[in-house]
Structure 1
Amino acid sequence: MTDHSTTPEDTGALLSVSGVDIGYRTGRRTETTIVRDVSLDLYPGQSLALVGESGCGKTTLGLGLLRLLPRTGRISAGRILFRRKDGRRVDVRTLGKEELRRFRWNEAAMVFQGAMNAFNPVLRIEDHFTDTFRAHESGRGRRPRARILERSAELLEMLHLDPARVLRAHPHELSGGMRQRALIALALALEPQLLILDEPTTALDVLTQRAIVERLAELRERLGFSMVFITHDLGLAAELSDRVATMYAGRLIETGTTRDIFHRPRHPYTSALINSVPSVSGGRTLPESLPGGPPSLAALPPGCSFAPRCAHALDRCSRTRPEPELLQERDRGMSHAAACLRSTDTALFAEGATRD
């Protein structure tokens, strides 16, 4: 295991991702790169929303951070540095099988999109908690089953669930919202520093979504964990995040504070996403659909990947791939940056003002 605690890149971040590429094998000798050259920092207690259309690489990046990719996937480049609870920084890519098992749930955990698929349908919820504690807790500190169930009940109560009912239930005996909250409780079992949530409210009704969002906000305030929230729902992103990162065609094309992204976007794609959402203020402005669709990740166009759909593209946009440009520098990863040749053209983005 490599210790990076003294490297010059140590800025105090909990998670430092640098130049990460992730691909999937699509044939015996063919690999398609899905995530390209992603770099970001996440600091203790921060919440980052990762937004973009379906197929842009959000989930692949989330899985890659915990090395949960399927067999056909691999991280082909870059580093994923994580500051553990004891203060040491490790590259998640270098962890051995046993180290990786201890890292998951103890240091970082993931809440998947479909709770029904995440749970084993033949096990009761209490068995899922027991198995999680016994599989991921360190050998010297393993708790007896009675203590595990006591801790499980505490976590379920934090999610406003009745432990007496939920622990003895099989997953199919719970409603969709209850399953999702039970899955969040399970992810928090060993008090991880980082929680990655992949579309945790998809397919749930509006009231259930609201309840889960409120619980997540309460828990983050109470337990102090950092969060990566993967979503295409910009309303949830605005409500739950300190920072937002826009992803398109496998790349991060704009990052900034939530206020920067929603009030001062500097990439046409970010503006288009915001303008495609109906206003909740009752205004007469109609949402604007974004024409076309994302490019194939196996055959990206030259230059800027968004240029074929961009109403503001210049001739050179089709030839030059823009690198992220720092627009406003702040501490603790809160700087505003955008990968657009026209990112400093404030007049261009004035019309892409915020929808309330």
Structure 2
Amino acid sequence: MNDLPTAPDPSEGALLSVRGVDVGYRTGRRSHVTAVHDVSFDLHPGQSMALVGESGCGKTTLGLGLLRLLPRAGVVPKGEILFRRKDGTRVDVRTLEKERLRRFRWNEAAMVFQGAMNAFNPVLRIEDHFVDTFRAHEGGRRWPRKEIVERSAELLEMVRLDPSRVLRSFPHELSGGMRQRSLIALALALEPQLIILDEPTTALDLLTQRSIVERLAELREELRFSMIFITHDLGLAAELADRVGTMYAGRLIETGTTGDIFYRSRHPYTTALINSVPPVVGDLHVPESLPGGPPSLTSLPPGCSFAPRCSLAIADCTTGRPSLDVLTPRGEGLSHAAACLRATDAELHAEGVSRD
């Protein structure tokens, strides 16, 4: 905003630079509904970023769009998705043709999908899923089946599964936690630099969630991959992420380090999300529900999309859409930014909630 020092170029050395990306779904031959609007951010090597927000805010659509894994009706009509490959070259994922895109996936970036039972082919054993993955995305080498099985066993051991039990099993023969761990091992198969995880602990019991989260943190430290973690669980976001992005109505409305978001949030929607969850430590307080619901993507309100639900909205909020302005400039994509006309008002200084 006004008179702030100039921050270094955040894309310098970034693994992933997303610039002005829209993602939508076709509704007719010449029209589509935009589900993600004008998203920009940078992710550096080894960093972990959580995307949080209510259901329907565009988190999963953005994650799928980054790897062009959208369903047939999905489109990425605008923007740049710049990725720095292992050989140092930079590619725009939006422009990759089919064969190059197939080899890019799982070699450079992989995804762990929500709902492991739906992600696996029910008539293939886990071993066959590994064989198909290695051979479809082989990355310039031929993988003999014996070598694939040996490597798959190593990967399963990394996520603390017994290969002799898992490899010859069909997906339905495994528990939910075992399937989810197997998906994570499959994502790590070709040593990608980036892993996108879409609600990887949904529908799992708390002990299994804890085990998977702890192992993910250990693997990221050990293998040094970057991670985008899509979740509605703020506790998991605080534990796994170096930085957090809040999404609302398809837009990125606040980004910052975990400390920025949980202790110094500057967008009223982020603050409302934090206040809606009981604290794990510290003084107890009654969670505050957020009235109303997100707007329809086909009829967004003028100005700030959150204004109709915001107790701090002023007249200007309903006429002009605020941009994602930097509040605290930092290098390596760690700047704190918020898309709110009142982001610098004293009453928006949130105390935050500890998630230890």
- Whichever residue aligns with residue 195 of structure 2, its letter is L
Aligned to 2:27: 26
1:245-300 C-alpha deviation (Å, 9 max, x unpaired):
00001110000000000000000000000000011126331110010000001110
Aligned to 2:5: none
Is 1:355–2:353 an aligned residue pair? yes
1:167-316 equivalence runs, <5 A:
167-281=167-281, 283-316=283-316
Native 8 Å contact 2:246 2:252 kept in 1: yes
Cα 1:12–1:257 shift into 2, 3 Å = same
Q: Tell me how far 1:138 sits from its aligned partner.
A: 2.9
1:142-181 equivalence runs, <5 A:
142-181=142-181
Is 1:338–2:315 an aligned residue pair? no
- Whichever residue aligns with residue 109 of structure 1, its letter is A
1:159-204 C-alpha deviation (Å, 9 max, x unpaired):
0100000001000000000000000000100000000000000011
Q: Tell me how far 1:348 sits from its aligned partner.
A: 1.1
1:55-104 C-alpha deviation (Å, 9 max, x unpaired):
01000000000001111110010000000000000000111111001000
- Whichever residue aligns with residue 354 of structure 1, its letter is G
Q: TM-score when scaled to structure 2?
A: 0.95
Separation (CA, whole Å) in 2 of partners of 1:80 and 1:247:
18
Q: TM-score when scaled to structure 1?
A: 0.95
SS of residue paired to 2:105: helix
Is 1:15–2:16 an aligned residue pair? yes
Native 8 Å contact 2:159 2:215 kept in 1: yes
Q: Tell me how far 1:30 sits from its aligned partner.
A: 3.0
Separation (CA, whole Å) in 1 of partners of 2:11 and 2:303:
33
Aligned to 1:326: 326
Aligned to 1:111: 112
Separation (CA, whole Å) in 2 of partners of 1:72 and 1:179:
28
- Whichever residue aligns with residue 56 of structure 1, its letter is C
Separation (CA, whole Å) in 2 of partners of 1:9 and 1:308:
33
Separation (CA, whole Å) in 1 of partners of 2:139 and 2:232:
36
1:207-253 C-alpha deviation (Å, 9 max, x unpaired):
11001001100100010000000000000000000000000011100
Native 8 Å contact 2:11 2:42 kept in 1: no
Q: Tell me how far 1:26 sits from its aligned partner.
A: 2.0
Q: Tell me how far 1:324 sits from its aligned partner.
A: 1.1
Separation (CA, whole Å) in 2 of partners of 1:29 and 1:81:
27
SS of residue paired to 1:330: coil
- Whichever residue aligns with residue 248 of structure 2, its letter is Y
Separation (CA, whole Å) in 2 of partners of 1:308 and 1:46:
34
Native 8 Å contact 2:244 2:257 kept in 1: yes
Give the length in aligned residue pairs: 346
Is 1:54–2:52 an aligned residue pair? no
Q: Which runs of 5+ in 1 are unaligned?
A: 1-7
SS of residue paired to 1:237: helix
Question: Percent identity of the aligned residues?
Answer: 76
SS of residue paired to 1:113: coil
SS of residue paired to 2:72: coil
Q: Tell me how far 1:10 sits from its aligned partner.
A: 5.5
Aligned to 1:99: 100
